[in-house]
Copies of this chain bind each other. A is one copy, B any other.
Amino acid sequence: MRIGELAEQAGTSTRALRYYEQHGLIAARRTTNGYREYDESDLRLVREIRSLLEIGFNLEDTRPFVECLRSGRASGAECPGSIEVLGRKLADLDGCIARLQAVRGVVERELAQATAEEEPA
């Protein structure tokens, strides 16, 4: 299939696909006229990238997953590189959640105090 169809199948844009290629995540064969040509395995790679991006991974983080899939694994997560990224992400998430909950506490107290002083019954 060509880039337009791949984009549609993967729920993204042709621009994004060229961007992934620029960054070495996917590679395309070329037909004689210079058009990119893809197959089902490429679709799987792009879908892996997309689902990871959607939950907050950045492009670099998706690389080990993509390489894992290209090495023939059934899942992009079952390679050491991917597992390491998952571990770091889990720690990042925990830190991020903790920070947000702390901020939430501050905001909640500020709000309670401010409304109390605004409407003192």
Interface contact A90-B78, CB-CB below 8 Å: no
Interface contact B86-A111, CB-CB below 8 Å: yes
Interface contact A55-B118, CB-CB below 8 Å: no
In the complex, chain A residues 63-105 whose Cβ is within 8 Å of any chain B Cβ: 75, 77-80, 82-83, 86-87, 89-90, 93-94, 96-97, 100-101, 103-104
Bits for A18-36, please: 1 = Cβ < 8 Å to B, else 0. Answer: 0000000000000000000
Partner of A75, one of B75, B89, B107, B117: B117
Interface contact B100-A93, CB-CB below 8 Å: yes
Main secondary structure of the interface of A (DSSP, over half): helix
Interface contact A107-B93, CB-CB below 8 Å: yes
Interface contact B56-A118, CB-CB below 8 Å: no
Partner of A100, one of B100, B108, B118: B100
Task: Give the complex CA separation of A121 and B78 in angstroms.
Answer: 15
11 further A-B pairs in the complex, CB-CB below 8 A; given A87-B111, A97-B101: A55-B106, A56-B100, A77-B114, A83-B114, A86-B107, A86-B110, A86-B111, A93-B100, A93-B103, A97-B100, A97-B104
